[in-house]
Amino acid sequence: MVIHSFVPIATSAARTLILGSMPGKASLLARQYYAHPQNAFWKIITTLLGAEEALSYDDKVGLLTSHGIALWDVLKSCTRASSLDSDIVEHSIVTNDFETFLNEHPQIDSIYFNGAKAEQAFGKYVLPRLAATKQLHLQRLPSTSPAHASLSFSQKLDAWSVIYSRRSS
């Protein structure tokens, strides 16, 4: 089944971009980033930014954008039978247009990948096509997916705190 990602969440003031690979089934059904109740993304973000986890989705999006954080996925579309990144059919991958996006958001200087697949796909399919003139800080963070259970929540939170500490410096 061919699936499609969402439009980016971003304002012109965005300085940081967080990239996933492709929304999972729960997110696609809810039409919301990181909608699976066991995905730690929103719990990590609200903890790092000092907000209540029980915020509505719209308020969580507002929290991100008010802190200069944009959210998107590397893949625009792909074929995948389940929510697992390992099920993405490699030859079906179509990436989002990052050249245009980064030109429209020139203040973005850091890109963080929510897991290995996002980093791998960006490096293989996107980075070679980007203009080499812009220096970007690129960093993979542990996946917030419930499928990535080898790290505890506190270990993931500690790793993800680099977003807040780097923005504060």
- The percent of residues in the chain predicted with pLDDT above 70, rounded, is 91
**Position 86 pLDDT exceeds 70:** no
Which value, in Å, is the radius of gyration of the alpha carbons in the chain?
15
The pLDDT value recorded for residue 82 is 75
Q: What is the CATH number of the domain that holds 123?
A: 3.40.470.10
- Extract the tokens encoding 118: 């996002």
* pTM confidence score: 0.92
Q: How many domains would you assign to the chain?
A: 1
pLDDT tens, position by position, 108-143 = 999 999 999 999 999 999 998 887 657 899 999 999
pLDDT tens, position by position, 58-67 = 999 999 999 9
**Position 149 pLDDT exceeds 80:** no
pLDDT tens, position by position, 32-56 = 999 999 999 999 999 999 999 899 9
| Domain ranges, residue 80 | 2-168
